[in-house]
């Protein structure tokens, strides 16, 4: 069964890579920017995040030492375009507190399971955000399970809607090599597929995976 799953997952990956090409994720000029982006992208689309990132850059705030000094209300106004801006400003301040007291270079030496636990202890950081930070900012081989991934693999028939985040992640990670580049590209390609074809109302007959998909059979 595991061999079949590994074959199927790699087939999906290769079909999507052939269709869409490399996605070059995660967009960001620094690890700080990636971490900030992971907070801002909660419950919104990336276009809104880009506007906030641009404003943060113009205010020289893609830097935890600078974020630590800014007033929370002023920060909220700067990131208004990302939605839930008061909540996200508070979360950014909490994340800033963590990373100013735990420098990135020190965290690089902490085992992934412990670092994940530390990240999820920060209020407002759940499994998806923590794993995005681990994969994209710390280059740890952790597969991110987001709404697109859940929808796609549910429709393909690999799991049902009730499967937990942990179980879905384990299914993928136990049947793929623990490779940062693979997990990075695979996740990005799934997001691309979810946005282009596997939408809430899917466009199945334009999808590269239609012959493998239980949803249209």
124 shares its domain with 148: no
Above 80 in pLDDT, residue 3? no
71 shares its domain with 168: no
Q: Is 46 within a domain?
A: yes
Q: Is 217 within a domain?
A: no
18 shares its domain with 45: no
- The pLDDT, as a whole number, for residue 217 is 62
Q: Residue 43 burial by CB count (10 A; 0-12/13-18/19+): exposed, middle or buried?
A: exposed
17 shares its domain with 67: no
Maximum CA extent, the chain: 56
Classify the phi-psi angles of 34: left when phi > 0, otherwise alpha if psi is within -120 to 50, otherwise beta: alpha
pLDDT in tens, 64-101: 999 999 999 999 999 999 999 999 999 999 999 999 99
35 shares its domain with 134: yes
Identify the CATH number of the domain in which residue 171 sits: 1.10.1670.10
Identify the CATH number of the domain in which residue 67 sits: 1.10.340.30
Whole-number Cα distances in Å, 151 to 66, 156, 162, 176, 200: 38, 9, 12, 19, 8
**Domain hosting residue 132, numbered range:** 31-138
DSSP assigned state of 29: S
- Residue pair 51/81 in contact (Cβ under 8 Å)? The answer is yes
Average pLDDT in the chain: 95
Number of domains composing the chain? 2
Q: Is 6 within a domain?
A: yes
Q: Residue 17 burial by CB count (10 A; 0-12/13-18/19+): exposed, middle or buried?
A: middle
39 shares its domain with 66: yes
Q: Is 178 within a domain?
A: yes
Nearest to 42 by CA among 97, 6, 79: 79
pLDDT in tens, 153-202: 999 999 988 999 999 999 999 999 999 999 999 999 999 999 999 999 99
149 shares its domain with 131: no
Tokens linked to 119: 């990240």
131 shares its domain with 154: no
199 shares its domain with 118: no
106 shares its domain with 163: no
Tokens linked to 61: 């705030």
Out of 106, 138, 170, a domain closes at 138
């Amino acid at each position: 069964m595991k061999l079949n799953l590994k074959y199927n997952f790699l087939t999906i990956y290769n079909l999507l890579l052939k269709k869409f090409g490399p996605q070059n994720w995660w967009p960001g000029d620094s690890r700080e920017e990636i971490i900030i982006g992971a907070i801002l992208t909660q419950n919104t689309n990336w276009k809104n995040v880009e506007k906030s990132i641009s404003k943060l850059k113009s205010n020289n705030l893609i830097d935890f030492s600078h974020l630590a000094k800014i007033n929370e209300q002023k920060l909220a106004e700067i990131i208004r375009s990302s939605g839930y801006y008061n909540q996200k400003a508070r979360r950014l301040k909490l994340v800033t507190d963590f990373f100013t007291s735990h420098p990135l270079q020190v965290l690089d030496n902490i085992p992934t399971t412990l670092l994940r636990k530390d990240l999820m202890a920060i209020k407002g950081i759940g499994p998806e955000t923590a794993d995005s930070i681990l994969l994209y900012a710390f280059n740890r081989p952790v597969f991110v399970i987001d709404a697109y991934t859940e929808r796609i693999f549910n429709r393909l028939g690999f799991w049902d809607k009730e499967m937990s985040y942990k179980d879905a992640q384990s299914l993928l990670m136990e049947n793929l090599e623990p490779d940062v580049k693979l997990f990075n590209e695979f996740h990005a390609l799934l997001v691309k597929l979810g946005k282009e074809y596997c939408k809430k109302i899917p466009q199945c007959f334009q999808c590269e995976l239609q012959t493998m998909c239980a949803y249209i059979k």
